[in-house]
Amino acid sequence: MAIALLFLVFAVLLVIGVPVAFALAAAALATLLYLDLPSVVLVQQVSAGTGSASLIAIPLFIFAGEIMMRGGISERLIALAASLVGRMRGGLGQVSILSSLFFGGVSGSAIADVSAVGGTMIPQMVKRGYDRDFAVNVSITAALVALLVPPSHNLILFSAAAAGGLSIADLFAAGIVPALMMTATLMTTGYLVARRRGYGVELFPGWRAVLLRLVAALPGLGLVTLIFVGIRAGIFTAVESAAIAVVYALLVTIVLYRQLRLKEFLETVVHAARSTGVILFVIATAAVFGWLLAYLQVPAAAVEFLQSIAHSKYAVLLMIVVMLLLLGTFMDLAPMILICTPIFLPVARAYGIDPIHFGLVLVLTGGLGLVTPPVGSVLFIGTAIGKISVGQAMRSIWPFWLAGLGVLLVVAFFPQLSLWLPALLRG
């Protein structure tokens, strides 16, 4: 009854439109009262939920990404991508996808990616004669790449939510190959759709222009190298790298690019603080929800249930993916990671699934939910930028969504694709 009450209250509150953080807290409080446990447990676990030192990296990376976005790096990354892939069929769509790979390595956030790259590319594509639904669908699905490349906030969150913690350096390394696969698959899909719709290509600016744009974009791309190499080599921790990223971003945008004025800086601080507050509030309230799951032995029950109906780890993994895809349609990625990790990670470990591999599968599966109604935050941002309805986008998004699903299934059932690079770098 306690388990049913916990999930029922949470589901009902989500359905009627209560914000996720408040729904988590209310469901936990109702269950605590039902179990006759002291309500002070709610306060204790909320406080403990934000007590992990590794979580400090999230607001710092958010701040660094906001600085780079408003300081001119997004325009330079888009210009570089345009010179590299603009001459392919559906050139501006290809530019949007490759720019998302570049910018994801700066922001680590799908929402920041679609806001920065989509905010620039969607109006340009519409102006050049591309259909609005194509411009939106390319941009929102390309933003999923940001979930997999360093400094992905969600991989850091998964590391904090995993029992005992996991190596952030290994998670960052594990996401690189799937990110490249997702980029290549979406570019191929974009090419096929553009060819069917008869979209044109962009003029090649010449190798000299490519070189100049590469030089202009290198300081921004250097942030990715600084973060990844620094953590992987053990020079600094994830939190230290996040702090260094903020200083680096300020130096690049103020001293080198000279585009971050006082007004933009103040807007950056406000926006980063607002984003951080939302994320940390969800983390705090999800902590008490997770504590109750452990108290009620939900992970053990999940392991026992799945063992009773499946004996292959791949069958279990497929069932978990299906459940996560369904959950992702009405739950944002951050609370989904915080709630599902303590339930499904013990199941994955019981079946011999590597936790690093499972983390990539969880984040990528939840990422598909970000472009799926009714609670797809990336979908809503993209459609707002493109000035079309969600229904219009959904009618033609299926080639891109299926491409993302295909990459997910390949990554899920061929774990060596995500695990060989961390093993290589450790070796």
Q: pLDDT tens-digit profile of 377-393?
A: 788 888 888 888 888 88
Q: What is the pLDDT of residues 98-134, one digit of tens each?
A: 888 888 766 777 877 888 788 888 888 888 888 999 9
Residue 163 has what pLDDT?
63
CA dist 105 and 107 (Å) reads: 6
Contact predicate 217/111, CB 8 Å: no
For the stretch 311-368, pLDDT in tens is: 788 888 898 898 888 888 777 788 888 888 888 888 888 888 999 999 999 999 988 9
Instruction: Give the position of tokens 């459940």.
Output: 323
Single-letter residue type at 379: L
How many alpha carbons fall within 13 Å on the CB side of residue 264?
Answer: 14
Which is more confidently placed, 259 or 400? 400
b/e sequence 217-239, b meaning 16+ C-beta within 10 Å: bebbbebbebbbebbbeeeebbb
- What pLDDT, on a 0 to 100 scale, did the predictor assign at position 101? 86
> CA distances (Å), 300 to each of 57, 306, 312, 342, 351, in order?
31, 10, 18, 10, 13
Cα separation of 10 and 147, whole Å? 26
Q: For 2-14, what is the mean pLDDT?
A: 86
Q: How far apart are CA 204 and CA 402, in angstroms?
A: 31
pTM, rounded to two decimals = 0.84
Residue type, 371: V
Angle at 337 between CA 274 and CA 111, to 5 degrees: 40
Cα separation, 117 vs 43, in Å, equals 40
> Quick one: pLDDT band at residue 399, thresholds 50, 70, 90?
very high
CA 185 to chain centre: 18
In Å, how far are 50, 161, 165, 190, 358 from 54, measured between CA atoms?
10, 10, 9, 37, 20
Per the model's pLDDT, the better-predicted residue between 403 and 64 turns out to be: 403
DSSP 52: -
Range of weakest confidence among 205-209, 214-218, 223-227, 358-362: 223-227
> Where is pLDDT greater, at 87 or 171?
171
At residue 299, the pLDDT reads 74
- The yes-or-no verdict on residue 288 having pLDDT over 80 is yes
Lowest mean pLDDT among 84-88, 187-191, 389-393: 84-88
What is the rounded average pLDDT of the residues 224-250? 82
- Whether the pLDDT of residue 419 is over 90: the answer is yes
In angstroms, the Cα distances linking 206 to 102, 218, 327 are 21, 18, 47
Please state whether 198 falls in left (phi above 0), alpha (psi between -120 and 50) or beta. left
Phi, psi of 408 (to 5 degrees): -55, -45
The b-or-e profile of 101-122 (16+ CB within 10 A means b, else e) is bbbbbbbbbbbbbbbbbbbbbb
Q: Please tell me the predicted confidence (pLDDT) of residue 43.
A: 82
Mean pLDDT over 250-279 rounds to 85
CA distances (Å), origin 142, targets 117, 125, 403: 10, 15, 11
Q: What is the mean pLDDT of the chain?
A: 85
Query: What average pLDDT does range 289-298 have in this prediction?
Result: 81
**Contact between 328 and 366 (Cβ < 8 Å):** yes
Which is higher by pLDDT, 309 or 27?
A: 27
Q: Is the pLDDT of residue 165 over 70?
A: no
**pLDDT tier, 175 (very low <50, low <70, confident <90, very high otherwise):** very high
At 375, list the tokens: 């609670």
Mean pLDDT for the stretch of residues 281-290: 82
The confidence score (pLDDT) of residue 88 equals 83
Percent of the chain beyond pLDDT 70? 97
H or E element at residue 204: none
Query: Residue range 278-291: average pLDDT?
Result: 81
State the pLDDT at residue 207: 85
